[in-house]
Amino acid sequence: MDSSPNTQAIWRTAARDMFDLSWIMTTAAVSSALDIEIIRKLAVLKIWVDANGVHGGRAFWKKSHECYPFDPEKWLRKRNVSDFDTADIGALSVPAPSFDDLSKTISKSFSFLHSLNEEELIIANARGQDRPLVLQVLRDLPGGRLKDAGLY
């Protein structure tokens, strides 16, 4: 598989993850409690941290070997059966969900990932030069859990 950012790579998707995300978004008691703004912000932060790594005290999240800017189309694309890693799909529910239905539900339910704000657009590019912004956004997350984590 060619891992260059300009090449359309085949991305295998765990059916279990798709099922879980679909369940979350189609279960009103759960989905109504979600903070879409935080989910979107965490999505771009995770991709940035995967691409660049981050330290916090003695903890270290090393950068991934494959680093790409955040691309909602990658995550929300229509998937075919061959795109899924089908391990454990039968254990999820009986009957097993349709892969087409899972793909459609994820694409529709997470369409808010297309609506990045100005700050998120910068972070989504996954550039190391944006580390000061990313560290500030991490410190400013609700609840202040990372405020005094000594991130660098």
- Name the residue ranges covered by the structural domains of the chain: 13-139
For the chain, which residues score pLDDT lower than 70?
1-11, 87-94
Mapping DSSP onto H, E and C, the string for 8-19 reads: CCCCCEEHHHHH
Residues facing 102 on adjacent strands? none
Total Cβ atoms within 10 A of residue 110: 19
Predicted TM-score (pTM) of this structure: 0.79
The whole-number pLDDT of residue 9 equals 46
Residues facing 61 on adjacent strands? 54
Q: Which two tokens stand for residue 33?
A: 């409690």
What are the tens digits of pLDDT across the range 88-97?
666 566 677 7
The whole-number pLDDT of residue 8 equals 44
Residue for token pair 């978004």: 25
What are the tens digits of pLDDT across the range 54-87?
988 777 788 887 778 999 998 898 888 777 777 6
The whole-number pLDDT of residue 82 equals 79
Cα-Cα-Cα-Cα torsion 74, 109, 116, 70, nearest 10 degrees, comes to -20
